[in-house]
Amino acid sequence: MQRQVSLSPASLPLPLEGCGPLRPLHDSAAAPLRQQVFETVRSHGQISRIDVAKHLNVSPASVTTMVADLLAGGLLCEIPSPREPSGRGRPPVALAVRPEAGFVAGIKLSDLVHTGVVIDFAGRPVAECSLERPSLRTDVELLVNEADELFARLLAQSGMERSEISAIGLGIPGLVDHPRGVALWSPIIRGAEIPIADLMSRKMGVPVQVDNDANLLTLAELWYGAGRALPDFAVVTLEYGVGMGLVMNHRLYRGARSVGMELGHTKVQIDGALCRCGQRGCLEAYVSDYALVREASVALDMHRTASGSAQVILESLFDQAKAGNEAARTIFRRAGRFLAAGLANVINLFDPSLVILSGARMRYDYLYADEVLREVRELTLNTGRALPKIEINAWGDLVWARGAATLALDTVTRMRTGAEAAP
Amino acid sequence: MQRQVSLSPASLPLPLEGCGPLRPLHDSAAAPLRQQVFETVRSHGQISRIDVAKHLNVSPASVTTMVADLLAGGLLCEIPSPREPSGRGRPPVALAVRPEAGFVAGIKLSDLVHTGVVIDFAGRPVAECSLERPSLRTDVELLVNEADELFARLLAQSGMERSEISAIGLGIPGLVDHPRGVALWSPIIRGAEIPIADLMSRKMGVPVQVDNDANLLTLAELWYGAGRALPDFAVVTLEYGVGMGLVMNHRLYRGARSVGMELGHTKVQIDGALCRCGQRGCLEAYVSDYALVREASVALDMHRTASGSAQVILESLFDQAKAGNEAARTIFRRAGRFLAAGLANVINLFDPSLVILSGARMRYDYLYADEVLREVRELTLNTGRALPKIEINAWGDLVWARGAATLALDTVTRMRTGAEAAP
């Protein structure tokens, strides 16, 4: 099944049912406002025209025009307002996204388990599942097959056809050139410069966009999470590696040439610990899974074997620390200190109003114990103002996949509202 | 002389001579394009209407309308085109900024010498001078008096009155809350939370805007320097401290809450060398002037006294390194290695297409010897792409003042083209 696909309005699914016909919207001058109106409705769930106008600080008349386009285009529908009726005149009506206006999938590939979701046009999950796999660096062909298997399961679960999915967002760890769809380097893929978006897209028969997984988690925070109300915030992720995402002025920032925010590989010690990237002294080499496992193998005789995965060792290390084992505690303590330095560096550089700590390793609360947060304060330049808020989000793997789906939904929305031309 | 002043069109000087009357431009819908047209003319020196339209990718008709506004407003004038006349029809005409449309000053305060410039509306220097002073942390009142003395000398040199200067841009080292005009902390000022813009403005009788000095140097690179043609680049400055500026999408980025880019205080060694900020392991504590002087005092018996300033010691240290003194060489060698780590971190995070190394310390070429640049490469995550270009700019103090003047010119231009309302 080697199909050539591209992300165009023609490949969008026809409506199954609903309150309006589906057609692309082509008036490009109005597109930015139309997209803003649509996003306002989506982020509010239900909202009246007049409240959209207030929210965007534009005239009610221009909102009415945009809404007429979006209703005619089948992207929005009208529902009875949850607010009290006034008793006379027309009954109040609220706007909502027409959920069946389109569906997208999100897939996050990782070393131990792949996860996937299908979401509707309102951003609500329709299906979700995961696929366990051996923790190995593999050829991209194997990953493509695994992703396709996951996609098939998602389709089976949701009772949908491939042709009903408008786009797939794909998250992978490592260095990703998002505009080109190329994995420059990934800890889970053998080789370099892999045109992974294209390979996935041909296999799955649906347009695929790829990005660094931490960027996609950041997108999930921006759309659904703590960052929703904030123009600027930073996300630091701890898993097998250390990732970072940055939102500036309500938009994801990927670095000037699209491969930035590599906080995990900033140097926190000259000639320091060896990192899996081959260099020394990277932050990641002190705080990520493999750094903790390396330490555990030295002082606690825990070794990674075919049967004893990193995760098993980490759980045991965590249990021993909780039980009072000093060697185990000093391992987490050191990781916590370096994490504090990394977070302080993020604050010293970006001065964000919020830092979100995320990823599965947030289970290990040693990493953000009071003493670690105190150390962040001690390593952050004293501006006389309060430190930014630091929030812990120990969400599971599915939020990464949801972030990946958000990438796809964002692109499809821009195309459908006319704000972005089909490539 | 305690005058209350604000940055408003009313305080702008009347034209001394020129090709058009001066009046504020108030059609706010057209303001963004009008400003772009103006900036295009300023950055090109001389340019025809049709070339402006090509440069901005807009219709010649809309350029003609904007130019008519700018000519009527006294900001642009027409001059005979330097291009060959076609021989028939109207003689070709080019646009240029009317230099006398306005004047601004820029002042950079520092620990050993203050520098200042006056520039005209085309950005060309009209007067420049400097004022030596003892290297001491002082009360802000003394700095205000020193700045005013420098300003008086600039006026004397240019033969201008205070009322002819539309605005002053002020650069200081340290943490500056630019929108509020407050020095949160500066190595040259005693105390914290100093409303320095307001104090200077009252003393000098001209509206003052203040920013971190590295930001202003970055602005100078953006307007006149290597960054002119680039949407994104980073500037790292080495002087008494380490500063950083970042341009994203042709604009200076100051951090989300306006006090970011503190590269000098990112931690490169846990529990490392003591920094003048009071914390340990800051990049600055390894590569700045005072870090080198501290090392020199240990191994080379060079001590900072009232008579022996940091600069004298640094010169001697540099001479000894050149002459083959191993201790002096190892001091520069270590500083170079840490600088390499700092630059690699900038690249790992921001992925810029250009890094500009600037500041007076660029005289000490040990800091950017081949081995240092090789080390930058070795500490930068391998993306499979070429490293960004690293450029050395050993400009003198005046470029910092010119950057400060640019801040003022930018604001006055926005107001005059209607792109920004008077505060």
The answer to whether residues A7 and A420 touch, using CB atoms and an 8 Å cutoff, is no
Range B126-148 average pLDDT: 91
Residue A39 pLDDT > 70, yes or no? Answer: yes
State whether A266 and B383 contact (CB < 8 Å): no
Q: How confident is the model at residue B342 (pLDDT cuts 50, 70, 90)?
A: very high
CA of B120 vs chain A CAs: smallest distance (Å): 33
Which residues in chain A are closer than 8 Å to B179, comparing Cβ atoms?
none
CB nearest to B256's CB, from A257, A279, A352: A352
Which residues in chain B are closer than 8 Å to A350, comparing Cβ atoms?
255-256, 260
Residue A17 pLDDT > 50, yes or no? Answer: no
What pLDDT does A241 receive?
86
CB nearest to A270's CB, from B253, B341, B382: B341
Token pair for A323: 């039980």
- Class of B231-352+360-394 in CATH: alpha beta
Contacts of A323 (CB under 8 A, 6+ apart): none
Which residues in chain B are closer than 8 Å to A276, comparing Cβ atoms?
none
Q: Assign residue A242 a region: left if phi > 0, alpha if psi is -120 to 50, beta otherwise?
A: beta
State whether B260 and A344 contact (CB < 8 Å): no
State whether B257 and A344 contact (CB < 8 Å): no
Range A276-300 average pLDDT: 91
pLDDT of B41-75, one tens digit each? Answer: 998 889 999 999 999 888 899 999 999 999 999 99
Q: Assign residue A89 a region: left if phi > 0, alpha if psi is -120 to 50, beta otherwise?
A: left
State whether B348 and A381 contact (CB < 8 Å): no
CB nearest to B270's CB, from A341, A350, A382: A341
For B220, list phi and psi in degrees, rounded to 5: -65, -40
A102-218+399-416 — its CATH code?
3.30.420.40
The SS3 call for residue A132 is strand
Which of B128, B184, B224 minimizes the C-alpha distance to B235?
B224
Residue A27 pLDDT > 60, yes or no? Answer: no
Give the number of A-B residue pairs with CB atoms closer than 8 Å: 142
Which residues in chain A are closer than 8 Å to B232, comparing Cβ atoms?
256-257
CB nearest to B267's CB, from A256, A263, A379: A379
Which residues in chain B are closer than 8 Å to A278, comparing Cβ atoms?
382
Q: Which residue of A has its CA nearest to B344?
A: A266
Among B270, B334, B371, the strongest candidate for a mutation testing the A interface, having the largest count of A CBs within 10 A, is B270
What pLDDT does B64 receive?
94
pLDDT of A348-394, one tens digit each? Answer: 999 999 999 988 777 777 777 888 889 999 999 888 888 999 998 87
Q: How confident is the model at residue A176 (pLDDT cuts 50, 70, 90)?
A: very high
State whether B258 and A351 contact (CB < 8 Å): yes
The answer to whether residues A336 and A371 touch, using CB atoms and an 8 Å cutoff, is yes
The SS3 call for residue A313 is helix
CA of A100 vs chain B CAs: smallest distance (Å): 37
Which residues in chain B are closer than 8 Å to A269, comparing Cβ atoms?
268-270
CB nearest to A353's CB, from B256, B263, B345: B256
What pLDDT does B16 receive?
32
What pLDDT does A18 receive?
36
Q: Are strands A354-358 and A233-238 parallel, antiparallel or unpaired?
A: parallel
CA of B130 vs chain A CAs: smallest distance (Å): 30
Residue A395 pLDDT > 80, yes or no? Answer: no
Q: Are strands B125-132 and B103-108 parallel, antiparallel or unpaired?
A: unpaired
CB nearest to A349's CB, from B266, B344, B381: B266
Report the percentage of chain B scoring pLDDT > 70.
Answer: 88
Q: Specify the higher pLDDT residue, A138 or B7.
A: A138
What pLDDT does B33 receive?
86
Amino acid identity, position A109:
L
What pLDDT does B18 receive?
36
Range A20-42 average pLDDT: 71
CA distance A276 to A264: 11
Residue B306 pLDDT > 60, yes or no? Answer: no
CB nearest to A350's CB, from B255, B267, B383: B255
Q: How confident is the model at residue B126 (pLDDT cuts 50, 70, 90)?
A: very high
Q: Which CATH number fits domain B102-218+399-410: 3.30.420.40, 3.30.70.890, 1.20.1250.20, 3.10.450.40?
A: 3.30.420.40
CA-to-CA separations, B174 to B110, B117, B194, B263, in angstroms, rounded: 10, 21, 12, 12
Burial class (CB in 10 A: 0-12, 13-18, 19+), B360: buried
State whether A351 and B384 contact (CB < 8 Å): no
Which residues in chain A are closer than 8 Å to B192, comparing Cβ atoms?
384
**Would you tell me the crossing angle of helices A398-416 and A31-44 to the nearest 10 degrees?**
140
What pLDDT does B51 receive?
94
Token pair for A229: 């109300």
Q: In A4-112, which residue ranges form alpha helices assigned H by DSSP?
A: 31-44, 49-56, 60-72
Burial class (CB in 10 A: 0-12, 13-18, 19+), B412: buried
Weakest-pLDDT range from A171-185, B28-42, B93-107: B28-42
- Class of B23-100 in CATH: mainly alpha
pLDDT of A245-261, one tens digit each? Answer: 999 888 899 888 888 89
A19-97 — its CATH code?
1.10.10.10
Are B102-218+399-410 and B231-352+360-394 the same fold in CATH?
yes
Which residues in chain B are closer than 8 Å to A270, comparing Cβ atoms?
268-269, 337-338, 341
CB nearest to A341's CB, from B185, B267, B341: B267
Residue-range domain boundaries for chain A: 19-97, 102-218+399-416, 231-352+360-394
What pLDDT does A11 receive?
34
Q: Which residue of B has its CA nearest to A194?
A: B384
Which residues in chain A are closer than 8 Å to B353, comparing Cβ atoms?
256-257
Q: Which residue of B has its CA nearest to A376?
A: B267
For CA atoms B53, B56, B57, B63, give the dihedral sign. negative
Which residues in chain B are closer than 8 Å to A337, comparing Cβ atoms?
270
CA of A214 vs chain B CAs: smallest distance (Å): 13
pLDDT of A91-125, one tens digit each? Answer: 678 999 999 999 999 999 988 889 999 999 999 99
- Measured in whole angstroms, the distance separating CA B145 from the mean position of its chain's CA atoms is 22
CA of B217 vs chain A CAs: smallest distance (Å): 17
State whether A350 and B260 contact (CB < 8 Å): yes
Among B212, B252, B371, B381, the strongest candidate for a mutation testing the A interface, having the largest count of A CBs within 10 A, is B381
Q: How confident is the model at residue B6 (pLDDT cuts 50, 70, 90)?
A: very low
State whether B253 and A256 contact (CB < 8 Å): no
CA of B378 vs chain A CAs: smallest distance (Å): 7
Report the percentage of chain B scoring pLDDT > 90.
Answer: 59
The model's pTM is: 0.85
Q: Specify the higher pLDDT residue, A317 or B367.
A: A317
Contacts of A145 (CB under 8 A, 6+ apart): A203
Which residues in chain A are closer than 8 Å to B187, comparing Cβ atoms?
none
Weakest-pLDDT range from A115-119, A401-405, A418-422, B102-106: A418-422
Report the percentage of chain A scoring pLDDT > 70.
Answer: 88
Q: Which residue of B has its CA nearest to A383?
A: B184
State whether B349 and A344 contact (CB < 8 Å): no
State whether B281 and A341 contact (CB < 8 Å): yes
Residue A401 pLDDT > 70, yes or no? Answer: yes
Among B215, B248, B347, B383, the strongest candidate for a mutation testing the A interface, having the largest count of A CBs within 10 A, is B383
Dmax over Cα atoms in chain B, in whole Å? 77
Q: How confident is the model at residue A10 (pLDDT cuts 50, 70, 90)?
A: very low
The SS3 call for residue A354 is strand
Q: What is the mean pLDDT of chain A?
A: 86
Q: Which residue of A has its CA nearest to B379?
A: A279
Which strands sit side by side in the sheet containing B113-120, from one edge to the other? B125-132, B113-120, B103-108, B165-172, B208-212
State whether B267 and A232 contact (CB < 8 Å): no
CA of B139 vs chain A CAs: smallest distance (Å): 18
Q: What is the ipTM of this complex?
A: 0.84
State whether B348 and A192 contact (CB < 8 Å): no
pLDDT of B74-119, one tens digit each? Answer: 999 999 876 555 556 666 789 999 999 999 999 999 888 899 999 9
CA of B353 vs chain A CAs: smallest distance (Å): 7
The answer to whether residues A370 and A394 touch, using CB atoms and an 8 Å cutoff, is no
Range B224-248 average pLDDT: 88
CA-to-CA separations, B254 to B262, B317, B414, in angstroms, rounded: 10, 35, 19
Q: What is the mean pLDDT of chain B?
A: 86
CA distance B136 to B153: 22
H or E element that contains B128: strand B125-132
